[in-house]
Structure 1
Amino acid sequence: MIWKLSLTGMKTRLRDYMILFSGLAIAAAIFYMFESLATNKEFLEHSNTVSVVGIVFHLGTVLLGIITFVYILYANSFLMTLRQKTYAMLMMLGARTSKIAQMIFIETFVAGIAATVVGMVVGVGLTALVNRLLVNQMGIVVSHYTPFNTAALLVTLIFFIAVFLIASMINASSIVKKSILQLLNEQKTPTRFKRNPFLLFIETIIGLLSLAIGYYFLAEIVKFQIMGLAIALVTIILGSYLIFHSVVIFVISLLKKSNAVVFKKLNNFTLSQLSFRVRDFTQILSMVSILFALALGALTVGLGFRNQIMTFTNTAATYDIVLNNAQKIDQQKIDTLDPTLNVTYDQKYDDTTIYYIKEQFDQHPFEQKDQSVFLSGEVNDKTLKYDAAKMEQDEQAQKALQDLELPEQKEKQIKLISQADFDTLGLDESQLQVINVTDFTTILPQIKTLIEENEKNNPSLGGAEGQNSFSQKYYVYNLYNTFFSGFEFMGFFLGIAFLTMLASCLMFKILSSANSDAIRYEMLRKIGTRQSLLKRAIFKEIGILFLLPGILGSIHVLFGLQMFKNFLSQPYHNIWIPFTIFIVLYALYYFATIWIYTSIVLPKEKRN
């Protein structure tokens, strides 16, 4: 009987459960995807550098798990609020609180597990897609990979079962502790709206100061580290709550005093709707603004890391291609690359010394990126040039030149001599060739072919695992591409997950009052209010509720990006792209909310 009542109750609130269901399914799908990619042995064992992706996706799993836990608790509390009148009626009919607790447990647990299972199924397909994108982007080959990961499935299932067990117990205990009258009348009791103007002013000042403190600690996160992050989170959450609690009330009060605003169309009705239960809206708007910032921030930072690949590659490697024993390479292959720089340094060597020609360095100075700029975390556009005289005097320049030599040559002394003296040396001769091209990324296949031929000619290089791997720009690019691609995908999907959570929470809050709002819209319709005005009022009211957390969340992101200034050389570069993507997705949820809300407060037969 308990199961039948629980399932019947879920059926009556199917629309609300579907909103929760969609958010949970997406969260479960992304959670499984992160865990699957993080534990994919074949993918991670392809090379040591790719194992970094495992760490990145494990981090994404932890972050998503924390936010999902908070979301589930919050979203389920909304569902319990919507169902509490039913529970009260059952209590009036003699149902024991233990049975009510069982119903709540079943409803919460069944909805959660169903969403988790669907999410894992979606996650398998999503994992296959993302794996293919990552493999293609990183330029690696992974065979025999299956997106069905048993370990990831178990971790996902165990995590969500644990979370829903906790949520079920919390929901059950909170409902059974309330009296029948509380359950029946709680939603009908409006929050007091009139507030002392002086207290509103104090709240506004404290809220602004809290946000300022939070933004400061975010900007100086490297200095304060974990402590700074904790302080920033507390102060930003507090500041967001106080700003909404004070500014929203103040603005509504101010607008309601203006006859020009109040007596225009249905503005007074809309303002009254917003002021109703303002404390509950304050809480949800504060939470949504934080989730908005997390979602948009994750998307922005993820795309920002994508922009770092070539920035860091160009900073770490001066030349696009380095060829040892270049005399063995067919130079026509080099010509097809249309190089912007093509310099060859002749070498002769004995057991202790490598000889170079002075005139070649004077004609084409050796170039090296300023590593002091690289180590400081700034964009490196500065290139140091060394002619023969500087090369002879600067040990760091000689060390940079040795980094491009073969492993067996590194310990030998570098000596620059004239062309005439060089010609008289009866020693083995080779060539070191350095090349730059117009667009490195567009000709990666040709560059890879040349590097493989170079390694075939010089077995001591050892490929990507060799000692000289970091001197070859191709391998530097692969390293950063692997690292930042992981962050890019993690940021994108975390942004999508957070978006679905914040949007569904806001939809819950708005739709939870739709049935009581329908009475007021019915009264307006009966007194002759035009249908177009009613729809416009709905657009305004819901639009404001979506816009307010969006504005504050965007401000959080703009200041919060300062936290990544030591990791991203240009954190605000092309920021309009993630903002545009997010606004479009956010707008879709806005219109979906309007559509559902309108179908409740203005039934179809009354809208015709």
Structure 2
Amino acid sequence: MLVKLSLTGVKSRLRDYLVLFSGLVMAAAIFYMFQSMASNETFLESNSFISSIVIIFYFGTVLLSIITLVYIFYANSFLMAMRQKDYGMFMMLGAKTGKIAQMIFVETFFIGILATLCGSVLGLGLSSVVNHLLTTKLDIQVQHFSPVNGKAFLVTVIFFAVLFLIAAVSNASSIAKKPLLTLLRENSTPMQVKRRKIGLLFEAIVGVILLGLGFVMMDMLMTLQIFGIAGALVTIVLGTYFVFHSVIVFILSLLKKVDSIALKQLNNFTLSQLSFRMQEYTRILSMVAMLVALALGALTVGLGFRNEIPKMADAVAPYDLVLNNAQKIDQQKVAALQPTSDVTYQFKEDADHIYYVTGEFDQQPISSVEYQPNGKTALKKYTGQEMQDNVTAQDAIRGVELPDQQGKEIHLVSAADFAGINLPVGQLQVIQVKDFQDQLKPIQDLAKENEQINPSAVGMEGMGMSGQKASAYEMYNIFFSGLEFMGFFLGLAFLTMLASCLMFKILSGAHSDVQRYRMLSKIGTRQALLKQSIRREIGVLFLGPGLLGMIHVLFGLQMFSAFLSEPYHQLWVPFGIFFLLYFIYYVVTVWMYRHLVLEQQE
């Protein structure tokens, strides 16, 4: 009987459950996808750089697990608040506390497992899509990849089962401890809305100061290190809470006093609704603002890593292509690249020495990547005269030599002395092209041919050895692509969670608002004005945490200045993607709220 009553209660609030259910499904789907990609045999059996993607996806799993844990317990607190009156009614009709606790346990655990299974099915599709995109981008040959991964499925089910088991026990025990009258009347207990203006002003000042202090600490994280991270986190969270608890309420109270605004259409009603809601929504709006920062930050940083790939390759390789013993390579292939710079240096070598012509370097100085005191890199050119007696400057030549040549002593001699050395002549060819990424494939082919001609170069890919930018580009492309995908999907997961929490909180209060809108309708208020009021009210509830979360990200990107050369480059792309998805959630929320509030008046 209790099971039937429980199912009836869930069915009556099915819309609310589906909102939270969507967040759980997305979290489980992305968790499964991370686990599936982390155990991808294609990556595990590839070279060490490609297998680093496994570590990246495992790291993403850890981050997602932490946020999912917070989300599940926060979402369950909403569910319990929504259903506790129903449970109180069951107890008033004679149900024992133990049976109610058992029913809550089964209900919570069943919903969690169902969301996990649905999410795992969705994760199959995500795994296939991500595997295809990654292997295409990294040019990896996939032998036997299947999105159906038993290990990933088992880990996902066990992880979420444990979380929902803990949540179920917590829900059951919390309800069982509450007196019957508390369960029946808690949602009807009026909130203290009236607050003194001096208190609001004080909280507002403290909130702004805490946020400012947190943003300053973010900018100094490299100096403050772990204490800066902890301090910035504490001050920003507290500052965010005070902003919603006081600053927005203070602004709304000022707007209500401006007659030209408050007395226009239904603005006074909308402002009063918002002032009342801010008292109750402080915690949820604060949490949503932090999740907005996490979602948008993950998306921004993930896309930012993609922009770093060519820059990092440029930072370790001064030339787009280096050909050792170039006399053995078909120069027509080189000409097809239409190089903007094509320089050839002659050399002769024996077991311990390698000889170059000084004049060739005087005519065409050789480039070398030099590290600056500020941590950045710059190209520096060296002539033959500069390198002749400077062993340090000769590293510019060693940077493009073969590994078996780099240990030899370099001699820069005149053309006449070079001609007198009785050794075979070799050619060292360094090439620059107009657009490295556009010509990446033919450059990679020539780099592979260079390895075949020079066996000592084999196995040095990705280390910047032999000056091959193609190898450095491949290494950074592999590593940063993993971070890019991790950031994108973490951002998507966080966005789904924060939007579902905010949607649920707004929609769960719609039942109590029906009477207010019914009264406005009876006194002759037009439907267009009622709909406008709904759009504005929900718009502020979405806009507040959205804007504050964006501000957090704008300051928080300073933390990644050590990893991203231009953390604010093309910021409109991630912000545009986030705004579009966030706006869709807003439109859906307005539609659902309007359906619940206005259509129930009929």
Where do residues 185-200 of structure 1 align in structure 2 (5 Å cutoff)?
185-200=185-200
| Cα distance between partner residues in 2 of 1:118 and 1:112 | 10
Normalising by structure 1, what TM-score? 0.96
**Counterpart residue identity of residue 189, structure 2:** T
Residue aligned with 1:404, SS: coil
CA contact (8 A) 1:354 1:414 kept: yes
Number of the residue aligned with 2:101: 101
TM-score norm. by structure 2 comes to 0.97
CA offset at residue 239 of structure 1? Answer: 0.6
Describe how 1:186-585 pairs up with structure 2 within 5 A. Answer: 186-372=186-372, 376-378=374-376, 380=377, 382-464=378-460, 469=465, 471-585=467-581
Instruction: Give me the identity figure in percent.
Output: 57
Aligned residues: 602
Residue identity in the other structure for 2:153:
L
Alpha-carbon spacing, 1:248–1:467, altered in 2? closer, same or farther (3 Å): closer
Question: Is the CA contact 2:367–2:379 (under 8 Å) kept in the aligned structure 1?
Answer: yes
How many angstroms does 1:440 deviate by? 0.8
Structure 1 range deviating more: 455-464 or 298-307: 455-464
How far residue 470 of structure 1 moved from its aligned partner, in angstroms, is: 6.4
Offset, 1:469:
4.0
Paired with 2:517 and 2:460, the residues of 1 have a C-alpha distance of 69
Aligned-partner Cα distance in 1 for 2:116–2:389? 66
Q: Alpha-carbon deviation of 1:3? A: 3.0
**Which stretch shows the higher mean deviation, 406-415 or 525-534?**
406-415
Contact persistence 1:43–1:142 (CA under 8 A): no
Gaps of 5+ in 2: none
Shift of 1:199: 1.7
Q: In the TM superposition, what is the alpha-carbon distance from 1:417 to its structure 2 partner?
A: 1.1
Q: In the superposition, relative to structure 1, how do residues 291 and 253 fare at CA in structure 2: closer, same or farther (>3 Å)?
A: same
Distance 2:276 2:350 in 1: 89
Shift of residue 605, structure 1, vs aligned partner: 7.7
Q: Which residue of 1 aligns with 2:19?
A: 19
User: Deviation of residue 99 (structure 1)?
Assistant: 1.2
Contact 2:464 2:472 in 1 (8 A): no
Q: Is the 8 A contact 2:355 2:418 kept in 1?
A: yes
Aligned residue identity for 2:7 = L
Match of 1:127 in 2: 127
How far does residue 84 in structure 1 lie from its aligned partner after superposition?
A: 1.4
The answer as to whether partners of 2:457 and 2:466 remain within 8 angstroms in 1 is: no
C-alpha offsets along residues 505-529 of structure 1, whole Å, 9 cap, x if unaligned?
1111101110110111111111111
Q: 1:187 & 1:454 partners in 2: Cα distance?
A: 75
Q: Which runs of 5+ in 1 are unaligned?
A: none
Task: Determine if contact 1:256/1:268 at 8 Å carries over to the other structure.
Answer: yes
Q: Is the 8 A contact 1:377 1:566 kept in 2?
A: no
Q: Is the 8 A contact 1:297 1:557 kept in 2?
A: yes
Match of 2:84 in 1: 84
Q: Distance in 1 between matches of 2:463 and 2:159?
A: 43
Which range is displaced more, 581-590 or 183-192? Answer: 183-192
Q: Which residue of 2 aligns with 1:115?
A: 115
SS of the residue corresponding to residue 410 of structure 1 reads coil
**Structure 2 residue 165 is matched with structure 1 residue 172:** no
**SS state of the match for residue 85, structure 2?**
helix
3-state SS, counterpart of residue 404 of structure 2: helix
Write the distance in 2 (CA, Å) between the matches of 1:102 and 1:233. Answer: 39
What is the deviation of 1:277? 4.5
Distance change in 2, residues 1:465/1:331 (3 Å): closer
Instruction: Tell me if the contact between 2:365 and 2:383 (Cα under 8 Å) persists in the aligned partners.
Output: yes
| AA at the equivalent of 1:441 | Q
1:466, CA displacement in angstroms? Answer: 8.8
Deviation of residue 475 (structure 1)? 0.8
- How far apart, CA to CA, are the structure 1 residues paired with 2:218 and 2:389? 44
- 1:218-244 Cα shifts (integer Å, max 9, x gaps): 222222333322222111111100111
The residue type paired with residue 547 of structure 1 is L
Whole-angstrom distance in 1 between the partners of 2:531 and 2:463? 69
Task: Output the CA distance in 2 between the equivalents of 1:434 and 1:465.
Answer: 17
Cα separation, 1, equivalents of 2:30 and 2:75: 18
Q: Residues 288 and 502 of structure 1 are in contact (CA less than 8 Å); yes or no, is this contact kept in structure 2?
A: yes
Pick one of 580, 590, 596 that aligns with 1:594.
Answer: 590
**2:402–2:465 contact (8 Å) kept in structure 1:** no
Tell me which residue corresponds to 1:5: 5
In structure 2, what is the Cα distance between the partners aligned to 1:11 and 1:394? 82
Structure 1 residue 87 displacement after superposition: 0.8
Worse-matched range after superposition: 518-527 or 248-257: 248-257
Tell me the SS of whatever aligns to 2:565. coil
Q: Quick one: which amino acid aligns to residue 489 of structure 1?
A: F
1:474-500 residue CA offsets vs partner (Å, 9 max, x unmatched): 110011111111111111111110001
Q: Aligned AA for 1:42?
A: T
Kindly provide the amino acid, as one letter, of the partner of residue 194 in structure 2. K
**Structure 1 residues 466 and 81, CA gap change in structure 2 (3 angstroms):** closer
Match of 1:30 in 2: 30
Q: Report if the CA contact (8 A) 1:514-1:601 is conserved.
A: yes
- More displaced stretch, 304-313 vs 43-52: 43-52
Shift of 1:401: 1.3
Letter in 2 for 1:322: V
